Structure 1
Amino acid sequence: MIRFAKGLLGPLLLGAAVALAGCSKGPEQVLYLYNWSEYMPQEVLDAFREETGIRVAYTTYDSNEAMYARLRLLDESNAYDLAVPSTYYVNKMRNEGLLQPVDKSKLTRFANLDPQLLNQGFDPENQYSVPYLWGSTGMAVNGAAVSTDGVTKWADLWDPKYKGRVLLTNDVREVFHIGLRVLGYSGNSTSEEEIAAAYEKLRELMPSVRAFNSDAPRMPYLEGEADIGLIWNGEAVMAQEELPELAYVYPEEGAVIWVDNFVIPKNARNVEAAHKFIDFVLQPEVAAQISEEIGYATPNLPARELLPPEVRENRTSYPTEEDLENAEFQSDVGEALLVYERYWELLKAGH
């Protein structure tokens, strides 16, 4: 999968090698990065080390909940320097004192970011976060196994013909989003009555569910285990390289829209390196390489101009306004998250 599609990082690596030639070696610096699975090309980590001499120790998670739980337990002896929570978790972690402010004076390329994705409600003035990638959670339909005709809504997942062939992500908010939206409620509902109703609706879907997967949700489709269900748009792009018949659908009830952001945990050991890495990724050439490699949309405006037309114009990665009609950004639901989690455990336990 990893490739130098346009050789965007080649000049960076060459320049870094020249700059570092003859430098004396001191103690190795390490940046501890905690990120989603399959969410950072290895070339980027290698190029950063070549340019700065800082090695990236890379650890992954498969859900915001897992990331949050781990960061709460760590102290300065084993803390991470960077993490990449999704939209509403930035707000949650900020409010709980789990993050430290980002020093934007150390980010020479912050102006590259799309203003429409900055200064959002989950982090006013981006005091604690810097957008990394943004995307959507929609529906995958394997056209090689089932007809894609007429599949336009979340409600289509409940069709009995898909029994045992539906995939869901292992994400409480995304799964409850579809239950809530099918019932006409907001995916950000804080009403226990509405969340309970979504739970009952999702219970009806469970006989059709083959698996929950947030490690690599494209794989059950590629391996023939699932024919329809949830998928992140970047995973759909990667899947389409091997399975062109896989369709990505923006459901009529509204897709989930999210922004994944760099944040610096409060106990970070190498804050200077964290800022250097963020600024490195904000280079247009690097941001374009990341978007092209893993299929998600970059918030970096100059980077978009570097993308090949077939990438920049791919609606799976870069949706139209029509695609996003009725779509919702996930927001912090406060104490209602405990309600979601209680019903989530019941749902997964088959109750």
Structure 2
Amino acid sequence: MPAARPDLRRFFQVLPIGLLLAFAAALPLRAQPVLNVFNWADYIDPAALERFQRESGIRVRYDVYDSLETLEGRLSAGRSGFDIVVPTSEPSFARLVRAGALRPLETARLPNLAQLDQALMARVAQVDPGNRHGVIYLWGTVGLGMRQDRIRALAPDAPLDSLALLLNPENARRLAGCGIAVMDSATDVLPSILRFLGRSPDSADAADLRAAEAALLAIRPHLRSIPGSAAIVDALASGEICLALTYSGDVIQAAGRAREAGRPFQITYAAPREGAQLWFDMLAIPADAPNPEAAHAFIDFLLRPDVMAGITNQVRYPNAVPASRPLLRPEVAEDPSIYPSAEAFSRAFLAGTPAPAAERVRARLWARFKAGR
């Protein structure tokens, strides 16, 4: 440290100690940087947050949501105050990219981009050319969570690997007593229904959408609820329901909670043999993020194989960092409901983003389904 100038040394030598302390207290202190994260609930390893704060000196302020509608609403209002958001590739991330609501990534700040699975990144490049605005955080499929014991007792001839288990009205009627739920997300349910019916998951054709609506209304009287995904996790884990159409990771989390609670039943996940909807949740930086430097540091930290392995071990969703696989617990790495087989993955589809007019039609369809009319 450079020596103090003589006149300043003399000043501090004669200044009364009380005034000296008051003078020091009045000096501006460098504030600790803060990173504001907006992510899905129960979707990170708490140890990763603690480690990032310890290593970087950046404090993390963490907020959660349980629907893409909530995320998009906060961002569309502007000045959200968030530095990191985690939108699903289709449709939310795609819409945010088109709207200019996301900041282009500074790749020089992200040396761990090299860790990403380029085949998976190529899939999301369809909506983000050059992968300029986001990287894959976690991914999964949409399918069926179930208690096979209850289902076999009530509908022994029903297929366990097909959406017919849910969408055949006779099957739904037989299973109504043990509880059926469909997650409250038109974005993630309608493409699966259309695929089951042999229609394009991206269809805006009026006849196709009427067919999807008819299929949903046919089982509506037999549903116990149409909740958010977090509520489905709780309902499956507690035994309140025996069948749910939801995200793969929600089912796996529910199975883990049931085991930890000593429940006398097993919860399993099935990707529909008709083809499961594939989705990717993206790490992205809002265009008006107050601390983009910290956001880049956080993204690069999360892409480290050991960090990402800890997250997948914790939340039971697959990640896009191949070097993390050897670091996963065997029961996670070898679970086909977490990492689908090559055959199941080949049947999976990635839904597109409907045009605004089609989106409005789907929203009205979904409102009628929820209302049961």
Same fold flag (TM > 0.5): yes
What residue is the counterpart of 1:333 in the other structure? 354
Give the alignment partner of residue 88 of structure 2, picking from 65, 76, 86: 86
User: Which amino acid is the alignment partner of residue 87 of structure 1?
Assistant: S
Distance 2:191 2:174 in 1: 22
2:7 counterpart residue number: none
1:193 Cα shift? 2.6
Whether the aligned pair in 2 keeps the contact of 1:108 and 1:279 (CA below 8 Å) is yes
Alignment of 1:1-351 (within 5 A): 26-75=30-79, 78-88=80-90, 89-119=92-122, 120-147=125-152, 150-157=159-166, 158=168, 159=171, 160-163=173-176, 165-211=179-225, 212-241=227-256, 242-243=258-259, 245-335=266-356, 336-351=358-373
Within 2, Cα distance between the matches of 1:40 and 1:64? 17
**Deviations 1:211-267 (Å, cap 9, x if unpaired)?**
223224221112222111213222222222225621211112211111100111111
Distance 1:172 1:231 in 2: 11
State the Cα distance separating 1:342 from its structure 2 match.
1.5
CA distance, structure 1, for counterparts of residue 347 and residue 236 of structure 2: 26
The Cα offsets for residues 64-90 of structure 1, whole Å up to 9 and x where unpaired, read as 122111110132xx4211110111121
Query: What amino acid sits opposite 1:104 in the alignment?
Result: T
The structure that is strand-richer by fraction is 1
CA distance in 2, matches of 1:178, 1:281: 31
Segment of structure 1 superposing worse, 41-50 or 147-156: 147-156
Query: 2:105 touches 2:133 (CA, 8 Å); kept in 1?
Result: yes
**Aligned mates of 2:161, 2:342 — CA distance in 1:** 16
| Larger proportion of helix | 2
TM-score (norm 2): 0.83
User: Match for 2:136: what amino acid?
Assistant: P
Deviation of the 1:144 alpha carbon = 3.9
For structure 2, the residue ranges without an aligned partner over 5 or more in a row are 1-28, 260-264
Q: Aligned equivalents of 1:60 and 1:217: distance in 2?
A: 17
Deviations 1:76-107 (A, max 9, x none): xx421111011112111111121111111100
Give the gaps of 5 or more residues in structure 1: 1-24
Cα distance in structure 2, aligned partners of 1:325 and 1:284: 25
Contact 2:237 2:255 in 1 (8 A): no
Matching residue's letter, 1:63: S
2 CA distance for matches of 1:306 and 1:61?
29
Tell me the C-alpha RMSD between the 2 structures.
Answer: 1.7
Aligned-residue offset at 1:284: 0.8
Name the CA distance, whole Å, in 1 between partners of 2:73 and 2:206.
23
Tell me how many residue pairs correspond in the alignment.
Answer: 325
Structure exhibiting the larger radius of gyration computed from Cα positions: 2
